[in-house]
Structure 1
Amino acid sequence: MALFGEEVEDEDRDKWIVWFDGASNALGHGVGVVLVTPDIQCIPFATRLCFDCTNSMAEYEACALGIQAAIDFNVKLLKVYEDSALVINQLKGERETRDHKLIPYQAYIKKLMEFFDNISFHHIPKEENQMANALATLASMFQLTPHGDLSYIQFRCRGKPAHCCLIEEEQDGKPWYFNIKRYIEDKEYPREASDNDKRMMQRLSAGFFLSEGILYKQNHDMVLLRCVDAREAKHMLVEVHGGSFGTHANGHAMARKILRVG
């Protein structure tokens, strides 16, 4: 079973996992933690640090937050992951902690480790710690008022552009332009159409053009726009925004791309 790029061994299936990271930039300092249950449920935490600190201090703050969260859930078996080799090696006792600002953190975390039957620390590549890093970065940049805590952020995967959801399926199986097309072809009005409905149909049809069975809408600059049903519209939007046509580019970017290819 894979989790965030890490293969979970059978003997680790009953263990909880903590991913943590710290971020320091011109806007502030933040920490991000992801607590993962044995059944792969992710519980994210993000905290803004409202005091001056170094990047390593932010890393230790994140580690302490993650371990404390595990204690609050009464976890006894824990694996801790982070992309800072310095912090992980110091916590494992493989590297001496000389920075006087970090020594109190290390002592505090050692005290927290006593709450567990088994706890281990592991270094991972930065690309495998993206969620914790994103939470830390968000916390460092996002301003909060005193005691202005926010609830958890919910992440979801969306497989198609949001506006595709606005295209409604035709309830009767007929496209939205069915009556317009039938009027242009056969001069037939919808059943039970009133005189006012018929006049409206005449005005609407004047703006459409039928060619070889395909209906087009005449634009204000005389460009013909093909009329499509809901199924065709969804397919086209998905293709344009996320399929074979790829990402949109503005005119200047497209021109540069064409020149490079040419």
Structure 2
Amino acid sequence: MELHIRKEPAGVIFITSDGEVLPYSFTLTQNCSNNAAEYQALILGLEMAVDIKQLHLKVFGDSKLVINQLLGLYEVKKPELFPYFSYAQRLIGWLGDVEIEHVPRKDNKQADALAKLASTLTTLEDNARVPICKSWVVPPIFDDDDCEEEEELHAIEVFDIEREDWRQPLIDYLKYEKVPDDPRRKVDIRRRATRFIHHNDTLYRRSFDGVFLRCLSDDEAIQAMEEAHSGVCGAHQSGPKLHFRIKRMGYYWPTMVKDCINYAQRCQACQFHANFIHQPPEPLHPTVASWPFDAWGLDVVGPLTKSSAGHLYILAATDYFSKWAEAVPLKEVKKENVADFIRINIIYRYGIPATSSLIMGSLSAIA
């Protein structure tokens, strides 16, 4: 029996040794690449061959990548194709006598390939039935035996990397007076054990107000934070409030403050519904000087009533820190007069400003 594979859509066509044509069309509902769709069409045809117990089979496909990977000419490099490749090889092994051949699309000699199949389909009678199916191709990666072995290995790995319960050294010391071999941990356990008691197979810690708090493991601590923060009576409180609430409920573990803060920060609902923070991402830069005579402000007052000496304007300078003022009368405002005022009344008396700039008012219009 011959098996021809097409991808548009997943077309599977069986041709028996007597020349009988059995066409099937499948709708693949997975979102996958073209190469994965080629593998899915091949797997569907092989599974149907297994169901009808057809042991001798010739497979023709127009995907050069899929055919050459099954023939061992190409290497499977993409991880998403490896499960399909393994499952297809397993189906071929179950069938036994399977021949795989690649049929190029541009090859003119396609007598036994897709061109012949297309012409065969066009000559089918009007009352011919072409079954259309919907199928999910999810190839298993391991056998049952492999799964059992994998589970055993997985359990061993978890046992190796399992974290030590922080309560166990304290329980060993309080119950059996057993201390760790490490000298530093030995001193630490003996120092901390004075605030713990072991009663009815439960470790308790005496708080500063004399209340005994039940010590929780890592898994129990996560459950306590989840119930207190987002449980039935949870109010999605912040980290410090969450720590205070759990402690009032009578529970304790060493890193509860840091864990509560991290748990509240990672809460997705709190991130969605939290208040917007309008504070700038960096500290604001003050414009007012933080030291005497760092910045001066200059301005011109006038024109005023002409004095007896002929002055019409007043040029004033104010220190932004101490509010100290310097002023001189001027007959007319020129850039030479302003420059002399800055040099004599500010620089010679108080030094060069730290900002190396003067804030001017109406003086900016002076040419």
TM-score (norm: length of structure 1): 0.42
| More relative contact order, 1 or 2 (CA 8 Å, 6+ apart) | 1
Q: Return the index of the structure with the highest Cα Rg.
A: 2
